């Protein structure tokens, strides 16, 4: 619905605001949005972006005398582009989670969502009815955000756009779609799909322009011109141009009657005459009765399908988690104090089966394995998804015997597959509820998988570190918002001048205070999210290095990276984008990678380091001397610097062998044309020794500890004044 009356943004009088009109020192502004969201915005093949939002954005820019540029993309990429400064403005639904990341203008439209399904498929009148079903949503959209927040087993399928989500329902890949109503109802008609809206409208949400919180001037400018467009009628002219498409709906009987009112009288006359024909009336009654009977049969069949779907896995047809827990509860009621063994079973590398033989073979394998478990005689069986099963028995379970029986080859129609299993067992006499027994069994399965054992009995020592779990949860909630970059200066031991700095991350945790990287970095690495911290640190390093160069004291900054940053992510593309975004210099950024990290896929690492050298970013071997093949790395990888580990530097004054290793490393590096950085110097005797053997750069507490950016900046300024 259109915002009007008291909901329209207030506009101050010109006499009050002439002196405070926001301005932007730029010639254009970049708007981003979905390329498949008609009639709001879309981009036809080989055409220019169109839609209500496109016209509104052009009008706001023209009103201010600048140019609006439009970038249409997958919706999941639009928010990423806005958050990372690649675009300026994105129109979107307002939510509390998004308010933490962006600033929003006054709303200018309201849109609702609804649940859509196939006429012959399951039914769902509200969101809670989606439990146990596969639901297609727009990737990174508002519906996906709401479903992620629900603590319910909903199989969320994030699609490229609304059309893709509707096709998933039409082809049976998804049971339902949860989508914005305005666009969906028109696309269903345009695409000729047999899909119905099965729920009333839900989640009425305000639509507004979102701006990165780092751009307050842009937000003030956009808010002002949006208010002006409401005041001068520009917004309403654009809305009227698109009203027929924005408020489009299927033609109803009342619409037909209204459009063809001149035919109503003759039609009524004909209906009166026809109603007098008793024979025809009887046939109509019989037809209607038959239709009602068919509808009743369909409803009963749908109820049976829903009841079955609620207790069985949709692809394999095996009993699901809820079914398993219900059966265990029944066993407990029958024998409340009897022995009960719950076994978790994981079919390892099921993903390899999918990638090699396809989904059909993988499903057949899961079904055949489930049949094998049923033949073994377990009282309860459940399939938990992703190749994981759970079984329960009231009789003693010999894990070795179970492994021997269920690991024999599974014979399918076209091939024979040897299942690779991990088992976890937990024995109980009625102390734990079924959910807790299942959790303990899965904990034992994870321990068996990690230790590469066939089976593992549960014991409390297997429980994960609660502190680590809570820290990871806090990271997912806050990301890098509370993290800080500390800088430890690096010195020329001859002149005593700062030649660079190493960036070290700190986490200013709201509850635990300042956390050192050794506390949380291993947790983030194990969880596979360390790349986001690396990306943030590189962004900080490029910005700081540029600031230092501007004030006349160039200071290259080193950032630690992991091998996974190179192998599993587009590290080079990210660095190039960061340098372009901040107009930074490549030679102001240095990357440090541990020599043990170079072991993983050395050919790919070598190619990546070569590309970094081509764009001007120097790379160093960090913690040199702690790995296994140090000398080969110096010759095989395009690095410019060797960083000697503190374990050697800190003891070289009291241990002759450590002194000899450091001296030999410096000589070898110089022979290969490499620079040497020694970290961990804690006294001036060590500095004197390093200077004597030709080490170019020294880093350690003897000079300075890692310090906040403001303190480091003051440190550099004092050096400038003393020079």
Answer whether residue 11 shows pLDDT above 50: no
CA dihedral over 698, 700, 704, 706, signed as positive or negative = positive
Q: Of 203, 113, 129, 121, which is closest to residue 168 (Cα–Cα)?
A: 121
Count of residues in the chain? 723
Span of 157-171, 354-368, 483-497 with lowest mean pLDDT = 354-368
- Tell me which fold the domain 481-722 belongs to: TIM Barrel (3.20.20)
Answer whether residue 132 shows pLDDT above 50: yes
Sheet holding 421-428, edge to edge: 380-385, 388-393, 340-347, 421-428, 455-457
Read off φ and ψ for residue 61, nearest 5 degrees.
-70, -45
At 633 the pLDDT is 65
Q: Which long-range contacts (CB under 8 A, 24 or more apart) does 467-474 make?
A: 468/523, 471/509, 471/515, 471/519, 471/520, 471/523, 472/523, 472/524, 472/527, 474/509, 474/510
Q: Which CATH class is domain 111-204?
A: alpha beta
Place 624 in a pLDDT band, splitting at 50, 70 and 90: confident
* 5-109+206-246 CATH, one of 1.10.3720.10, 3.40.47.10, 3.30.1330.60, 3.40.190.10: 3.40.190.10
At 29 the pLDDT is 95
What pLDDT digit, counting tens, does each position of 176-200 carry? 999 999 889 889 988 889 999 999 9
* 321-462 CATH, one of 3.40.50.300, 3.30.1330.10, 3.40.50.970, 3.30.70.270: 3.30.70.270
Answer whether residue 260 shows pLDDT above 50: no
Locate tokens 């729920």: which residue? 199
What pLDDT digit, counting tens, does each position of 504-519 carry? 999 999 998 999 998 8
Average pLDDT rounded to a whole number, residues 410-414: 73
At 19 the pLDDT is 46
Task: Write the CA distances from 413 to 324, 353, 368, 416, 465, integer angstroms.
Answer: 28, 15, 11, 8, 45
pLDDT more than 70, % of the chain: 89
The most confident of the ranges 169-178, 299-308, 309-318, 427-436 is 169-178
What pLDDT digit, counting tens, does each position of 59-86 carry? 999 998 999 999 999 998 999 999 999 9
Place 91 in a pLDDT band, splitting at 50, 70 and 90: very high
Annotated catalytic residues are 679
């Amino acid at each position: 619905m259109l915002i009007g009356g008291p909901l329209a943004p207030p506009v101050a009088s010109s006499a009050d605001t002439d002196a405070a009109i926001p301005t932007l020192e730029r010639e254009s502004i970049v708007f981003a949005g979905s390329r498949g969201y008609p009639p709001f915005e879309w981009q036809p093949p080989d055409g220019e972006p169109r839609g209500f939002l496109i016209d509104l954005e052009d009008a706001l820019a023209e009103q201010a005398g600048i140019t609006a540029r439009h970038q249409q993309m997958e919706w999941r990429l639009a928010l990423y582009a806005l958050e990372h400064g690649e675009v300026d403005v994105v129109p979107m639904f307002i939510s509390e989670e998004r308010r933490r990341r962006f600033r929003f203008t006054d709303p200018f439209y309201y849109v609702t969502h609804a649940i859509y399904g196939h006429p012959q498929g399951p039914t769902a009148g509200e969101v809670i009815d989606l439990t146990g079903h596969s639901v297609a949503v727009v990737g990174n959209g508002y519906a996906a955000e709401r479903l992620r927040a629900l603590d319910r087993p909903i199989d969320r399928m994030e699609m490229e756009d609304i059309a893709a989500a509707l096709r998933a329902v039409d082809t049976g890949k998804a049971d339902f779609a949860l989508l914005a109503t305005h666009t969906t109802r028109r696309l269903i008609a345009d695409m000729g799909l047999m899909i119905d809206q099965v729920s009333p409208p839900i989640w009425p949400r305000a639509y507004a322009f979102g701006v990165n919180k780092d751009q307050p001037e842009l937000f003030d400018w956009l808010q002002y011109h949006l208010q002006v467009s409401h005041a001068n009628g520009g917004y309403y002219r654009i809305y009227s141009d698109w009203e027929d498409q924005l408020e489009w709906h299927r033609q109803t009987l009342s619409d037909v009657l209204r459009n063809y009112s001149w035919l109503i009288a003759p039609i009524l006359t004909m209906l009166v005459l026809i109603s007098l024909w008793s024979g025809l009336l009887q046939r109509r009654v019989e037809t209607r009765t038959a239709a009602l009977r068919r509808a009743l049969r369909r409803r009963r069949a749908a109820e049976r399908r829903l009841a079955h779907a609620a207790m069985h896995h949709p692809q394999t047809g095996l009993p699901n988690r809820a079914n398993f827990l219900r059966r265990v509860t029944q066993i407990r009621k029958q024998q409340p104090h009897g022995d009960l063994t719950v076994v978790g079973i994981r079919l390892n590398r099921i993903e390899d089966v999918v990638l090699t033989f396809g989904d059909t073979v993988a499903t057949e394998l899961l079904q055949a394995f489930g049949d094998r478990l049923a033949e073994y005689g377990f009282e309860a069986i459940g399939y938990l998804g992703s190749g994981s099963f759970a079984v329960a028995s009231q009789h003693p379970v010999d894990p070795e015997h179970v492994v021997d029986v269920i690991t024999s080859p599974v014979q399918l129609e076209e091939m024979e597959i040897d299942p690779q299993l991990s088992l976890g067992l937990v024995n109980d006499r009625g102390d734990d509820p079924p959910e807790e027994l299942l959790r303990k069994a899965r904990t034992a399965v994870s321990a068996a998988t990690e230790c590469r054992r066939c089976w593992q009995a549960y014991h409390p020592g297997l429980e994960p570190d609660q502190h680590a779990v809570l820290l990871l949860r806090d990271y997912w909630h806050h990301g890098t918002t509370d993290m800080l970059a500390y800088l430890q200066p690096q010195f020329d031991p001859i002149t005593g001048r700062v030649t660079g700095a190493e960036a070290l991350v700190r986490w200013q945790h709201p509850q635990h205070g300042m956390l050192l990287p050794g506390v949380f970095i291993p947790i983030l690495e194990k969880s596979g999210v360390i790349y986001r911290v690396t990306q943030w640190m590189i962004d900080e390093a490029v910005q700081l290095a540029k600031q230092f160069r501007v004030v006349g004291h160039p200071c290259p900054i080193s950032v630690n990276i992991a091998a996974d940053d190179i192998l599993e992510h587009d590290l080079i593309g990210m660095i190039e984008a960061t340098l372009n975004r901040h107009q930074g210099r490549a030679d102001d950024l240095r990357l440090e990678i541990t020599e043990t990290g170079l072991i993983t896929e050395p050919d790919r690492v070598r190619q990546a380091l070569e590309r970094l050298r081509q764009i001007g970013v120097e790379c160093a071997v960090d913690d040199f001397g702690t790995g296994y093949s140090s000398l080969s790395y110096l010759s095989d990888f395009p690095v410019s610097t060797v960083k000697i580990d503190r374990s050697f530097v800190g003891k070289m004054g009291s241990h002759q062998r450590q002194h000899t290793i450091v001296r030999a490393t410096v000589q070898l590096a110089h022979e290969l044309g490499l620079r040497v950085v020694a970290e961990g110097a804690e006294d001036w005797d060590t500095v004197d020794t390093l200077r004597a053997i030709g080490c170019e750069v020294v880093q350690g507490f003897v000079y300075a500890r890692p310090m906040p950016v403001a303190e480091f900046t003051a440190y550099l300024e004092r050096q400038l004044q003393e020079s």
